[in-house]
Chains A and B, each alone.
Chain A
Amino acid sequence: SQQGEEDPQALSIQEGENATMNCSYKTSINNLQWYRQNSGRGLVHLILIRSNEREKHSGRLRVTLDTSKKSSSLLITASRAADTASYFCALKTSYDKVIFGPGTSLSVIP
């Protein structure tokens, strides 16, 4: 399958802790993006990392990409209750499609 696979499927942490989510994939990619989705709502684009990049930062977010291992991680530092949401990695493949991973459901407990 070209889909990304994410782990963990669900993650529950205390406010202030860091949250790490991983995405592994099988196909070649042009870029990898991370999105957030609050329950019943649309997608919010978080960050894009290109295949020739290894790490990107945006605020409390840090994304890494290891193309040799075909994996990416999303780190949210100093988590807040408002970070509670589902997080998806999305792969831009050479076929010009964006394919989503199954997602990680993050709960941040105040």
Chain B
Amino acid sequence: GAVVSQHPSRVICKSGTSVKIECRSLDFQATTMFWYRQFPKQSLMLMATSNEGSKATYEQGVEKDKFLINHASLTLSTLTVTSAHPEDSSFYICSARGLRGSYEQYFGPGTRLTVT
């Protein structure tokens, strides 16, 4: 089946630094990628939708200058958390959608970000 990978799987960074998370579709071309965040014991909240080659669309309440999303190719999207603070500590999950499969959206394994 379709595979989506994320790197890194875990990252710890200091307050004020920036962290980049990669999301790759390994065996299909992802026309659209989605970024979610999940706080402990809570559900996934959609942060933004990105289409290859265009600017991301952010959900209400998500700061676009803080969470920079780049979808430069059909197999790679990146989320950069800029000037990270402890409250940004969360589980970030990407999903990718192509034009195949009985269901259209495939989720990555997630990246756990801890900001100290």
Chain A positions within 8 Å of B, measured between CB atoms, are 3, 31, 33, 35, 40-43, 45, 48, 88, 92, 96-103, 105
CA distance A88 to B103 in the complex (A): 16
Which of A31, A33, A103 is within 8 Å of B43, CB to CB? A103
Closest 3 CB pairs of A and B: A42-B109, A48-B103, A100-B44
Considering only CB atoms and an 8 Å cut-off, how many residues of chain B contact the other chain?
A: 22
Which of B32, B41, B46, B107 is within 8 Å of A43, CB to CB? B107
Chain B interface main SS type: strand
CA distance A99 to B49 in the complex (A): 12
Please, which residues of chain A bring their CB within 8 A of the CB of B105? Answer: 92, 98
CB of B49 within 8 A of CB of A43, answer: no
Q: How many A-B contacts at CB < 8 Å in the complex?
A: 45
Please, which residues of chain A bring their CB within 8 A of the CB of B109? Answer: 41-42
CB of A88 within 8 A of CB of B46, answer: no
A48-B102, A92-B104, A100-B43 are known contacts; what are 18 more A-B pairs with Cβ within 8 Å? A3-B43, A33-B103, A40-B112, A41-B109, A42-B93, A42-B110, A43-B44, A43-B107, A43-B110, A88-B44, A97-B34, A98-B46, A100-B36, A100-B45, A101-B43, A102-B42, A103-B42, A103-B43
CA distance A97 to B105 in the complex (A): 10
Which of B34, B91, B102 is within 8 Å of A98, CB to CB? B34
CB of B107 within 8 A of CB of A99, answer: no
Please, which residues of chain B bring their CB within 8 A of the CB of A98? Answer: 34, 46, 95, 105
